[in-house]
Homo-oligomer: A and B are copies of this chain.
Amino acid sequence: MPNPTAAILIIGDEILTGRTREGNAYFLAGELAKAGIDLKQIRVIGDDHATIVAAVRELSAAHDQLFTSGGIGPTHDDITADAVADAFGRMIDVREDAREILARHYAARGVEFTESRLRMARIPEGARLIDNPVSGAPGFSVENCHVMAGVPNIFQAMVAGLLPHLAGGAPLQSRNWQLMVAEAAIAEELRALAVAHPGVSLGSYPFVTDGQYGTNLVARSTDPVALEAAFAALKTHFPEGQ
């Protein structure tokens, strides 16, 4: 059975203007590979209601899971929750269980529970909450769409709570073989190896270090036996690697 598929949707003008270097997709990509969920697309869009609604509809329909990051805070530019509700045709309002979580969190810390903070208890109807052990305000899942915070440590904590509940597949494993030769010098042999090992993806990634050309060869597969066979062939064909 093929592994389940996924997409990641990053929401935030600060990425598109070059102010912030995105890191949540990089983190989640690694976690999904370990969980055996095939990431097919990462998309970054701005804080625009219609754009978010359209992207959520398209990506959730085309993949088994959709993960979003960003736009669920207390300020006027946090519009993700309302857009996701719209995308799935659900009502959205302050929900009592989310309000209680926030009330407890703020009471324990002597922080005032303001009108702005109450905004973070707005949850689409029928959604399941995602625990936020860092700052209280929960994420949520609507159907196959998992809505999480953009702040990296909160995002990572939410992923840790969410992923074990999702159906995974065979983890993608990889083996790395580094050669200090230019990519083009081994392209023909590598192509032949790729043909001979159809169950394994063979990627080649050139680099330059101290003016020397090198190539990282990466074999990837969800089938450990096929992976080791391909890796053994790599080592045999390119014994100068490491």
Contact = CB atoms under 8 A, between A and B. Distances in A.
A202 interface: yes
Interface in A114-134: 114-117, 119-120
Point out which of A19, A27, A206 has the most chain B C-beta atoms below 10 A from its C-beta: A19
A218 B116 contact: no
A14 B74 contact: no
Interface stretch (A43-51, A162-170, A232-240): A43-51
Contact of A29 (B17, B111, B116): B17
Contacts of A46: 40
A39 B16 contact: yes
Specify the main secondary structure of chain A where it touches its partner.
Answer: mixed
Given A26-B18, A151-B206, A194-B76, A43 B40 contact: no
Given A42-B43, A77-B202, A190-B75, A17 B174 contact: yes
A120 B182 CA distance: 14
A116 B181 CA distance: 14
Contact of A20 (B47, B74, B77, B205): B205
B17 A172 contact: yes
Interface string A208-221: 10000000001010
A191 B115 CA distance: 12
A203 interface: yes
B116 A187 contact: yes
Given A187-B75, A188-B115, A18 B42 contact: no
Nearest to A185: B114
Interface stretch (A30-38, A84-92, A138-146): A30-38
A198 interface: no
7 contacts: A14-B218, A18-B29, A73-B184, A74-B183, A75-B191, A114-B188, A120-B184
